[in-house]
Amino acid sequence: MANPDESNARGLQSVERSFEIIEYLRSGGGATLSEAADDLGMAVSTAHIHLTTLVDTGYVVKDDDVYRCGFEFLQTGGQRRDGLALYQAAKPELDELRDETGEHTNVTVEERGYSVQLYKSENPHSIDDDASLGDHFYLHLTATGKAILAELPDERVAEILDQRGMPALTDETITDEDVLYDELAAIRDRGYSINNGEHFPGVCAIGTAIASDPDGAIGAISISGPRSRITTERIEDELAPALLNKKNIIELKIRQFE
């Protein structure tokens, strides 16, 4: 008879393997059985069992010989997002902010030490990093991420940096912890963060945290656009006041939902 701990360990490994396959299909856009098995270093029979089970659940679909992630993920993520008070309060305000500024506006949340994009209100005449709904970003190099970090205790910031690191995506990315902590202090003083080409070359953004309790931010909002238009003068005179006004409105609306 199998040891229960060993059975549990095998079960967890099986679940982890299935999610490894899902991530592989997501990142690659799909694959055949033999491609998945070869790329993931799995026996074809094992890969077939996982893929068949995932197809049965609806989370993977099979088109001819190609397996792809199904739209069940869209429904699952969409329902979670739509149920968030932050999203409900922020969406119409971000649409207005887009029209007022002529730039993209965004709302994100922190999850597992990453910033996750919930919604982007796009202006066709602006540009940003072309990130998709649900994309995950490092917190230290985006405006919304730094705004969230500035609301967290230093112990939690240190934990996130230790877990996720501080990789550089551009020449402007902050990779020194002391420099980042100094910037977080400045963000707390002025009430908003600045991403000056640190996540995507040529794109600048300003962000501010959305808070509903004393334990930290529940998310953050931002305005983003080409670096040539998001100038220091425009930030101080126009964009930061508009962003902070929307922050206040969104926080008030969230309290009404509670």
> Which of 139, 108, 132, 110 minimizes the C-alpha distance to 223?
108
Domains with residue ranges and CATH for the chain:
4-70 (1.10.10.10), 78-257 (3.30.450.40)
Residue 9 has pLDDT above 80, yes or no: no
Percentage above 90 pLDDT, the chain: 77
7 versus 47: the higher-pLDDT residue is 47
242 versus 16: the higher-pLDDT residue is 242
CA distance 141 to 164: 12
- For residue 198, the Cα-to-chain-centroid distance in whole angstroms is 16
Tell me the per-residue pLDDT of 37-71, one tens digit each, with 9 for 90 and over: 999 999 999 999 999 999 999 999 999 999 999 98
CA atoms within 13 A on the CB side of 225: 22
Residue 7 has pLDDT above 60, yes or no: no
Angle at 80 between CA 78 and CA 82, to 5 degrees: 65
pLDDT at 191: 96
Per-residue CA distances from 250 to 59, 93, 146, 210 (Å): 34, 7, 19, 8
Tell me the per-residue pLDDT of 190-215, one tens digit each, with 9 for 90 and over: 999 999 999 999 999 999 999 876 66
Confidence (pTM):
0.82
Burial (0-12, 13-18, 19+ Cβ within 10 Å), 206: buried
